[in-house]
């Protein structure tokens, strides 16, 4: 298993609200549709790797990936946690080589690997 949020990965949020959660703007982002579309999935990963253009959403997600990884999505709402898990699992299953590049970019020493893997397995 790997480390990182994309999205948090595709974290389903763009910017932190002064409160203790990410902005709910993307809470209705269709993560399942993204996970099922290999072309879009790859484009998001290339965006996160600074190797391809980013959509507005991709740019917003990319901004919160480092913090979400370090905090194991602590500011994510339950819906955002669900969305992140869907997208990250798709990255891992469908694009493992690009996923590994993102892991190395965002967590080069592997210090967040265990906690992030535990987050991915969780149901909260």
Reduced 3-state DSSP string for 104-124: HHHCCCCCCHHHHHHHHHCCC
Q: What is the pLDDT of residue 7?
A: 44
- What count of other Cβ atoms lies within 10 Å of the Cβ of residue 79? 16
Map out the domains of the chain with their CATH numbers.
24-109 (1.10.2080.10)
What does the buried/exposed string (b/e) look like for 29-39 if buried means 16 or more CB atoms within 10 Å of the residue's CB?
Answer: bebeebbeeee
What is this structure's pTM?
A: 0.79
Q: What is the pLDDT of residue 122?
A: 83
Task: Give tens-digit pLDDT for 26-70.
Answer: 888 899 999 999 999 999 999 999 999 999 999 989 998 888 888
21: phi then psi, degrees, rounded to nearest 5: -135, 160
Per-residue pLDDT for 5 more than 50? no
């Amino acid at each position: 298993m790997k480390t990182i949020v994309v999205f948090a990965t595709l974290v389903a949020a763009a910017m932190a609200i002064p409160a203790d959660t990410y902005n709910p703007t993307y809470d209705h982002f269709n993560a399942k549709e993204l996970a099922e579309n290999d072309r879009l999935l790859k484009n998001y990963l290339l965006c996160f790797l600074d190797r391809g253009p980013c959509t507005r959403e991709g740019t917003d997600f990319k901004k919160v990936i480092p913090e979400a990884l370090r905090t194991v999505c602590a500011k994510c709402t339950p819906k955002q946690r669900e969305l992140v898990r869907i997208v990250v699992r798709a990255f891992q299953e469908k694009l493992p080589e690009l996923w590994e590049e993102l892991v190395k970019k965002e967590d080069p020493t592997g210090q967040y690997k265990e906690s992030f893997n535990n987050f991915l397995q969780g149901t909260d």
